[in-house]
Amino acid sequence: MPVKKIVTAVAGCLCAVPSLIMPAPIQAQQVRLITLDPGHFHAGLVQKFMYPQVDPVVHVYAPAGPDLQEHLKRVEGYNTRADSPTHWREEVYAGPDFLEQMLRQKAGNVVVLAGNNLRKTEYIDRSLRAGFNVLADKPMAITPEEFALLRQDLALAADAKLLLCDIMTERHEITTMVQRELARAPEVFGALAPGDASHPAVEMESAHHFYKEVSGKPLRRPAWAFDVRQQGEAIPDVGTHLVDLVQWECFPDRALNWQKDIQIHAARRWPTPLTPEQFQRVTGLAQFPDFLKADTAPDGRLNVFANGDVNYTICGVAARVTALWHFQAPPGGGDTHFSRLIGTRAILTIKQGEAEHYQPTLYVEKNSGASAADFERALRAAVQRLCGTWPGLEVKPAGAGWEITVPDKYRVGHEAHFAQVTEEYLRFLAEGSMPAWVAPNLLAKYYTTTEAWRLSRAH
């Protein structure tokens, strides 16, 4: 069973954690995590596995309440599972002054953020100014005002040699990685087409569901997750992943300039209506809280503005990103992802629908005057080279094109991607730096999402 100490702020009582002047330098075996105000299950997923260089004692600072209890239950579930149990020890401070206590006590050197997004940019700012490294779930900013603060924070992190990074799990999905690599093979893909607003060269779409299972159990979402003022709307929230993939796949290792390389043309937002019964099923609450009354329609349903799209140009290439939320997936289904990259020689498309049994599947179509036989030879040679990284990839005919088949061992699932992101961040900490493109592309990403938020509300 996990060892857990909970200290609650009562009448000025302080948690019995020694106060440090500054977090210790990051060295092997010395990464000490702090979880700040966990309200999203992603905070727990960072701890689904152990890491050799991370201290098993994790300090948690949060207000007392159901968000904190759900987080602790999730970590306890990892500690007590039969298969590869973890051995985290959660040292908890619960009280209204949780942020001030975290900043004063400095019980670790990496702050993990995944929860209510209303104060996330503030948490990032305060953590950096206190000398902490920060690993934050998306989004880091949901409004243009927060983007302005994030710009300051990235400059602060660079000056203080602190590492500020967001959790981009979708970069570790196997079909996405293969799509990216094939787009870097000019003999297959050619060059990225420019496209236009009506026919963008890059399209990304994701569909998520309010009711779902995580770690084998129905997910209980907090009521604030249905308030876009706290959670964020479609593009600033889950759309962050899609905008990130546009940058990461189409302009790999290139530092983008958010002021010069990106032009936002149009953006929209629209609601997903939820009945009181659906809201109760996913939150456990029998009625909408007062802070959601303004979003309740005359028919009694809650309008959650969780859908949106944005058309923009990035480095001269037309792109469209769409984020959707439904209540529940169809039987056998789940969250889905669509991605299309149009090149001068080929079109690379990831689909995840019923025809694919809801598994992400990569298709390749010829998009040039080359013969099908010549194109197929080039494609097979490129995939064979990729087998040096992912043995077992194969090419098989699929309609007028080809499918890239992927061994099941690479389909580790969304939850496992959190460990992959965390391991990558730990490597950055050990090296003392991140690749030069990370910070500027983070700015480009959040400029795109927050400017889309502004534009969607201007009409």
Specify whether 386 is located in the same domain as 443.
Answer: yes
Tell me if 38 is assigned to some domain. Answer: yes
Task: Say which residues have a Cβ less than 8 Å from residue 317's Cβ, sequence separation at least 6.
Answer: 192, 193, 194, 195, 201, 202, 250
The per-residue pLDDT for range 133-164, each reduced to its tens digit, is 999 999 999 999 999 999 999 999 999 999 99
Q: Is the pLDDT of residue 20 over 50?
A: no
Tell me if 179 is assigned to some domain. Answer: yes
Write down the pLDDT at residue 217.
Answer: 78
The per-residue pLDDT for range 319-370, each reduced to its tens digit, is 999 999 999 998 888 899 999 999 999 999 999 999 999 999 999 999 988 8
CA 51/CA 313 separation, integer angstroms: 40
Specify whether 142 is located in the same domain as 185.
Answer: no
Q: To the nearest whole percent, how much of the chain has pLDDT over 70?
A: 93
pLDDT confidence band for 459 (50 / 70 / 90): low
Q: Is the pLDDT of residue 376 over 80?
A: yes
Q: To the nearest whole percent, how much of the chain has pLDDT over 90?
A: 88
What SS3 class is residue 59?
A: strand
Tell me if 376 is assigned to some domain. Answer: yes
Residue 176 near residue 220 (C-beta atoms within 8 A): no
- Show which of 148, 167, 186 is a domain's final residue: 167
CA 212/CA 197 separation, integer angstroms: 34
* Strand ranges, E, within 168-249: 202-211, 213-214, 217-218
Specify whether 245 is located in the same domain as 150.
Answer: no
pLDDT confidence band for 18 (50 / 70 / 90): very low
Residue 160 near residue 128 (C-beta atoms within 8 A): yes
What CATH number is given to the structural domain containing 50? 3.40.50.720
In the predicted model, what is the mean pLDDT of the chain? 93
Write down the pLDDT at residue 29.
Answer: 52
Write down the pLDDT at residue 215.
Answer: 72
Write down the pLDDT at residue 5.
Answer: 59
Q: Is the pLDDT of residue 240 over 60?
A: yes
pLDDT confidence band for 377 (50 / 70 / 90): very high
Q: 105 phi and psi, to 5 degrees?
A: -80, -30
Task: Determine the number of helices (DSSP H) and then strands (DSSP E) in the chain.
Answer: 13, 18
Q: What share of the chain is helix, strand, coil (3-state, %, to 5)?
A: 35, 25, 35
* Whole-structure pTM value: 0.92
CA 290/CA 166 separation, integer angstroms: 32
CA 220/CA 185 separation, integer angstroms: 43
Write down the pLDDT at residue 139.
Answer: 97
Specify whether 184 is located in the same domain as 255.
Answer: yes
Residue 239 near residue 312 (C-beta atoms within 8 A): no
Q: Is the pLDDT of residue 443 over 50?
A: yes
- Show which of 150, 167, 184 is a domain's final residue: 167
How many CB atoms within 10 Å of residue 437?
17
How many CB atoms within 10 Å of residue 377?
13
Instruction: Identify residue 432 by its one-letter amino acid code.
Output: G
What SS3 class is residue 342?
A: strand
**Lowest mean pLDDT across 16-20, 231-235, 327-331:** 16-20
* Positive/negative CA dihedral, 154, 63, 87, 49: negative
- Show which of 167, 195, 215 is a domain's final residue: 167
What CATH number is given to the structural domain containing 414? 3.30.360
pLDDT confidence band for 308 (50 / 70 / 90): very high
Tell me if 432 is assigned to some domain. Answer: no
Specify whether 384 is located in the same domain as 322.
Answer: yes
How many CB atoms within 10 Å of residue 140?
30
Q: For the sheet containing 361-366, what is the strand order?
A: 262-274, 302-314, 317-328, 202-211, 336-342, 346-351, 361-366, 401-405, 394-398
Specify whether 114 is located in the same domain as 227.
Answer: no
Provide the residue count of the chain. 459
Specify whether 175 is located in the same domain as 163.
Answer: no
With CA atoms as reference, report the closest residue to 307 among 216, 386, 242.
242
243-268 in b/e burial notation, b at 16+ Cβ within 10 A? bbbbbbbbbeeeebebeebbebeebb
Structural domain of 141: 4-167
Residue 336 near residue 208 (C-beta atoms within 8 A): no
Cα–Cα–Cα angle for 259, 184, 200, nearest 5°? 55
Task: Say which residues have a Cβ less than 8 Å from residue 39's Cβ, sequence separation at least 6.
Answer: 67, 71, 114, 115, 116, 222, 224
The per-residue pLDDT for range 160-201, each reduced to its tens digit, is 999 999 999 999 999 999 999 999 999 999 999 999 999 999
Specify whether 421 is located in the same domain as 350.
Answer: yes
Specify whether 368 is located in the same domain as 381.
Answer: yes
Specify whether 182 is located in the same domain as 151.
Answer: no
Going by their DSSP bridges, the two strands 57-62 and 336-342 should be labelled as unpaired
Helix ranges (H only) for 271-355 are 276-283
Specify whether 111 is located in the same domain as 185.
Answer: no
Write down the pLDDT at residue 3.
Answer: 44
Q: Which residues pair with 311 in a beta bridge?
A: 266, 320
Write down the pLDDT at residue 23.
Answer: 39
pLDDT confidence band for 6 (50 / 70 / 90): low
With CA atoms as reference, report the closest residue to 90 among 108, 105, 115, 104.
108
The angle that helices 438-456 and 239-250 make with each other, rounded to 10 degrees, is 130
Q: Is the pLDDT of residue 8 over 60?
A: no
What SS3 class is residue 447?
A: helix
Average pLDDT value for residue range 40-49: 94
CA 202/CA 262 separation, integer angstroms: 14
Structure tokens at 131: 């000398």
Q: Is the pLDDT of residue 10 over 50?
A: no
Tell me if 55 is assigned to some domain. Answer: yes
Write down the pLDDT at residue 369.
Answer: 84
DSSP 163-178: -EEEE-GGGG-HHHHH
Tell me if 19 is assigned to some domain. Answer: yes
User: Number of structural domains, the chain?
Assistant: 2
How many CB atoms within 10 Å of residue 13?
10
Structure tokens at 31: 């990464």
Tell me if 433 is assigned to some domain. Answer: no
Specify whether 196 is located in the same domain as 108.
Answer: no
Tell me if 258 is assigned to some domain. Answer: yes
